[in-house]
Structure 1
């Protein structure tokens, strides 16, 4: 904290020191002998020469460890690695930590599951109701989940595994639920009926974005700071996004059936789950195409949630009513 506080002052000192060095001169004094015919009149003169000092100095920033530019690699092929069941569960939203712990929402009862990527149950947190959507703030050791029937969100401390108080989502009618969730600009975006509510982490309503008259099942933050949203109960729909100013844009013109969850990568591609047809589709941002990459033949059976590991080396998909998780290894290009 001290170094961070004085870093600007150190940078100023470094710049001042560099300017000081460049202005310094190497001064030498030498005797210049006169011709013999002027010996009686003068003993000579003093000559002053100046030359730049050859002192090598490197700025502090140059001496610091430099960030390496990592090439972005994206999944190209998927190979089923592990398949495991979770008793007494309807598995929906998934989020994955840096150490590959799975936080899996359960719409069967109040148990939020924390599991290894091999299927071992590490923790079970008893929430205040059935869960649906999940968003992770790993730098704050916090996961946020929606409790649809409570019209609320609730957070869990990832270190202590203790749940925190319920936060009621404002402006929700008594008969409506909340489903999708995402974190944007240190605020929470929550999907309701025909709206995405932007609330503070203490529950204050900031704004409500109108997105059409159906439930928002899933929300994901896009690479250009927009919110993708899925409305699964509309049957066939198109992939759309909305900005925080309320501007809606159509991302993909092709119809997608019962879109329940999706994730975008750093290049703007979107991986989309279709629950009824049990497909995983990929929307390519580069050529605006939509193609199927996983089907029921690959083990998908009513999928409701998906997540990638932080390095995109693994893909996790939840088969809701089957109560199972599929783990795919991703070959990257």
Structure 2
């Protein structure tokens, strides 16, 4: 019998997808969130227990009988830290589906506390960052002396309201990369190159993806950048946004943008998700000039989040894993991504210096 676990933010776009898939599998998680009307409606439909409570200082009392929390309520840079604190107090394992660098850094900073509390913390058990984290570890296995790592993805998946709001939260903060082991801010649009993510060479732009945090902890590689395909004209446009960053970050601008998202943005439906696989790419280089490249095709970003989150929850509930703070690949290995529905196998390529 599966241990008792909880989905917080269960009525959000991705949280609901996870809850419905759990029901299909015969699982019975507790559904939780702060909106009683939305939560109770979903819990009644799925015949699951509902717990209404906000993110705040007294959450631990709601987790006293919970073995694991899957946190799906963003923006995670605001909600993750108090939920991790509650899990530490309650002795519940913690997982989330974030892709936010600051959240990953906070999660790793809780390593000693997690070990003392006897829990496992693992942020990023969705599309952010399972595919790229597994790709990073695969490259480290193929090229153990790698000094530089590049990771990226290409997908035509739509975007959910929650993800859109997280992007709004990040406006004005620019991009980031890892240089000599340190996180370094980088102007949006300043990182440019051409990449074949898996369906032909395309111009690409650096983005502040979570792997500049997670891949460092997974592999120990000191220099890391993360990429998505982007038309050259749009990269140029992104560079023009840099001076406007401080304006876009103003609270009243943020509030108006988020309100517009709530009214106008809907997540992609099942048909769109089914027709939009993701293409994952990674490249590692060593000081001798050897270049290792791997690619893998996966399910679309939202279905992969569902599959990845539930697989991670199942493994952690049923197995014996170390206590402390970890990435998905650190806990479950580079092969995790190949085992998820809709995923292919890693394809490898090596270029040697002339």
Kindly indicate which of the two structures has a greater share of residues assigned to helix: 2
How does the TM-score come out when normalised to structure 2?
A: 0.28
How does the TM-score come out when normalised to structure 1?
A: 0.29
Kindly indicate which of the two structures has a greater share of residues assigned to strand: 1
